[in-house]
């Protein structure tokens, strides 16, 4: 038993790195295919290409929101040890990181594609600096801040040993604020909010219920 645990512990980071790199590789490939598709549309179908930027931005934004929601949900499930007996810790942590980074990559695609859209016309500063753009600046700015917070949480995984477990946990709590900001952004900045209302209600309710359960489980464990 004593000889088995150290080897398992040493193998976890490599297993996690492989999962994350594999996932990011797939995301990069799909992203390149999307960019090539945009270039092709721009050269062959100018009228269609004008709408293509908007369609890709909206679809990637919805996908990003779902991935970030799954990341938060999986983090709550993982921290509550619901599936710990059946899923190896390395796989659980690797999946959590993959969902976070996949959501961030899709968020970047969601924002950067808007540079090609002429309605409204936006530049790079409008996308990366909160609350300065011409299109619904408050709602868009909330999304930008939310993505920055989610990026900070994702990067914290790789500096956990340097910042300490306590600071890592405190920093991880900002993922709740990031999720709320991104949700407000999606509902306030989106042009098809009414069509996606059920999606937003389901995601927010799911995260809310799991958060309440997590707080209750920690409280019941502490009182024993």
Query: What integer pLDDT is reported at residue 148 of this predicted model?
Result: 95
Placement of tokens 């500063």 in the chain:
125
Q: What DSSP string runs through 105-127?
A: HHHHHHHHGGGG-BTTB--HHHH
Of 157, 150, 154, nearest to 179 by C-alpha is 150
> What distances in angstroms separate CA 173 from CA 29, 169, 185, one per listed residue?
32, 7, 19
**pLDDT tens figures, 160-211:** 888 888 888 888 889 999 999 999 999 998 777 788 888 899 999 999 988 8
Element (H, E) at 164: none
Domain spans in the chain, listed from the N-terminal domain onward: 4-219
> What distances in angstroms separate CA 212 from CA 38, 117, 209, one per listed residue?
43, 41, 5
H helical segments located in 113-196 = 124-128, 137-156, 160-163, 165-172, 174-189
**pLDDT tens figures, 130-152:** 999 888 999 999 999 999 999 99
pLDDT above 90 for 118: no
Query: What integer pLDDT is reported at residue 131 of this predicted model?
Result: 94
Q: Is 123 left (phi over 0), alpha (psi -120 to 50) or beta?
A: beta
Residue 20: pLDDT band with limits 50, 70, 90: low
Tokens of 108: 């970047």
Element (H, E) at 210: helix 197-223
Tokens of 148: 């920055």
**pLDDT tens figures, 44-85:** 555 555 577 778 888 889 889 999 999 998 888 877 656 666
């Amino acid at each position: 038993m004593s000889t088995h645990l150290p080897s398992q512990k040493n193998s976890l980071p490599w297993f996690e790195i492989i999962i994350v790199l594999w996932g990011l590789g797939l995301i990069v490939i799909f992203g390149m295919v999307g960019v090539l598709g945009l270039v092709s549309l721009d050269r062959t179908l100018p009228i269609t290409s004008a709408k293509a930027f908007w369609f890709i931005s909206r679809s990637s934004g919805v996908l990003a929101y779902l991935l970030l929601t799954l990341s938060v949900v999986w983090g709550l499930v993982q921290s509550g040890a619901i599936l710990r007996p059946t899923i190896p810790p390395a796989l659980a942590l690797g999946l959590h990181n993959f969902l976070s980074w996949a959501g961030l990559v899709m968020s970047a695609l969601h924002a950067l594609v808007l540079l090609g859209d002429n309605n409204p016309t936006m530049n790079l500063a409008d996308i990366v600096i909160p609350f300065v753009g011409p299109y619904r600046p408050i709602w868009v700015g909330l999304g930008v801040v939310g993505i920055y917070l989610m990026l900070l949480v994702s990067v914290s995984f790789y500096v956990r040993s340097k910042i300490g477990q306590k600071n890592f946990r405190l920093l991880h709590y900002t993922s709740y604020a990031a999720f709320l900001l991104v949700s407000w952004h999606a509902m306030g900045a989106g042009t098809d909010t009414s069509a996606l209302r059920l999606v937003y209600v389901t995601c927010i309710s799911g995260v809310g219920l799991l958060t309440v359960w997590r707080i209750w489980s920690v409280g019941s464990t502490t009182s024993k």
